[in-house]
Structure 1
Amino acid sequence: MQKNTGIKRIFLAFGYSLKGLRSAFKHEAAFRQEVLLAVIFIPLAFMLDVTQIERIILITPIVLLLILEVINSAIEAVVDRIGSEHHELAGRAKDMGSAAVLIGLLLTVYIWIEILFL
């Protein structure tokens, strides 16, 4: 089997990434909700009277939250693919992925409150 290299590999990788984003949007309600938050809060960050650095700091955790949700969804998909029976390690993996999203959400809320109100 011949490996794809160079520019062809880059285009294929980009296509796989878009496919992953479409899949997350189609199959994951939490991802759709977080995209909606991003659609609201990222433009809001540009309308606020804050410095450029503060704007970057406001937007970064929102994007990080989307990244964490995609990773969490990938973990859940792999665990579900392996088997439907309950296993402690499978449950732990899913719970940890969910915890990562929660921490990202709490970080986002904290940063927005800290910059806008404190």
Structure 2
Amino acid sequence: MTQPSPYKSTGGLIRIARAFGYSLQGLGAAWRHEAAFRQETLLAAVLIPLGLWLGDTAGERLLLAGALVLVLITELINSAIEALADAISTDHHPLLGRAKDIGSAAVLLTLLLAGAVWASVLIPRWI
């Protein structure tokens, strides 16, 4: 039988508070160390209010804002993969390179999805 990890918490309000703190640390680290995250965050800071203003219904507002939040989430996951890969080795390794490329592809697909969502909501109004 394996022993439980000594790093896992048992739960409760203290766990929730610590998890929130770790999440804020992660956002801060992404802001400090990841240029792409900073760029996408600044873009979202402009476009989310615009999407909330341009959306006619609650569903449209959610789609426009949510697509941008999804880009940020995907960028955070990609940045975590890249940091972990770099911690393992900064030497070229095909599997680490593949992991980084796949993470980057996930960000690209999410950006394309966000563009498609915005286009599908807004273009019909102008045509």
Q: CA deviation at 1:46?
A: 1.9
CA distance in 1, matches of 2:116, 2:47: 14
Task: Give the structure-2-normalised TM-score.
Answer: 0.88
CA RMSD between the two structures? 1.4
Aligned to 1:62: 68
Q: What is the letter of the counterpart of residue 59 of structure 2?
A: I
Mapped contact 2:37–2:75 kept (Cα < 8 A): yes
Give unpaired runs (5+ residues) of structure 1: none
CA distance, structure 2, for counterparts of residue 86 and residue 48 of structure 1: 46
Note the C-alpha offset of 1:4.
4.8
Deviations along 1:55-94, one digit per CA (max 9) or x if unpaired, are 1111111001000000000000000000111111000000
Size of the aligned set, in residue pairs, is: 118
Residue identity matched to 1:10:
I
Report the more deviating stretch, 18-27 or 42-51.
42-51
Gaps of 5+ in 2: 1-5
Specify the structure having the higher radius of gyration (Cα).
Answer: 2
Of 11, 15, 21 in structure 2, the residue corresponding to residue 15 of structure 1 is: 21
Separation of aligned partners in 2, 1:75 and 1:19: 17
Correspondence list, 1:12-91, <5 A: 12-48=18-54, 50-91=56-97
Note if contact 2:55-2:64 (Cα within 8 Å) is conserved in structure 1.
no
Corresponding letter in the other structure for 1:94: K
- Using the alignment, how far apart are the partners of 1:100 and 1:24 within structure 2? 17
Give distance in 2, aligned partners of 1:30 and 1:51: 31
Give % identity: 54
2:115 equivalent in structure 1: 109
